[in-house]
Structure 1
Amino acid sequence: MPIEVDENTQRCTLIGEQVRVAGDARDVRIVTDEALRMSIAELDGQRVPITESEADALTVAGAVDGRRHLKTSEPGSII
């Protein structure tokens, strides 16, 4: 699991292949990576791919949700 969230302190840890970064959940930004077709959690300049359920857990803890929902019906969508 690439994230850990402490519900009591609202701190989280993002864990990637070569990165481990911790901070307040409110400092995490969740974005959509169109090339990967998945969500990415960003903290302190580090980016970690995450699942949608992990993205939801981070937003509940206070992370900023900047995801874009990709649709086949939208002009310019990669799907």
Structure 2
Amino acid sequence: MPIEVDQNSRHCTLIGDKLRIEGTGPEVEIVTDEQLRMSVAVLAGERIPITEAEADALTVIGAVDSRRHLKASEPGSVI
């Protein structure tokens, strides 16, 4: 699991292959990576791919939700 969330303190840890970065929920932005076709958490300039359940957990502690829904029917969509 690439994230750890403490709902009481609103702190989180994003865990990558060679990275472990900590911050508060509001410091995290969740974006959609069109090439990966999944959500990515961004903290201090570092990007960590996450599941939708993890994205939801981060929004509960105040992360900025900048995700876009990708649709196969949209012109130029990667899916």
State the TM-score, normalized to the length of structure 1: 0.98
Counterpart mapping for 1:1-79 below 5 A: 1-79=1-79
SS of equivalent to 1:72: coil
What amino acid is aligned across from residue 4 of structure 2 in structure 1? E
What amino acid is aligned across from residue 43 of structure 2 in structure 1? L
What amino acid is aligned across from residue 29 of structure 1 in structure 2? E
The whole-number CA distance in structure 1 between the counterparts of 2:18 and 2:4 is: 16
What amino acid is aligned across from residue 36 of structure 1 in structure 2? L
Structural RMSD (CA): 0.5
Q: CA deviation at 1:18?
A: 1.0
The whole-number CA distance in structure 2 between the counterparts of 1:25 and 1:7 is: 9
1:33-78 superposed Cα distances (whole Å, 9 cap, x missing partner): 0010110000001110000000000001100000010001111101
State the TM-score, normalized to the length of structure 2: 0.98
Runs of 4+ in structure 1 deviating by more than 4 angstroms, as ranges, are none
Calculate percent identity across the aligned residue pairs.
68
1:16-35 superposed Cα distances (whole Å, 9 cap, x missing partner): 10111000110100000001
Q: Which runs of 5+ in 2 are unaligned?
A: none
Count of aligned pairs: 79
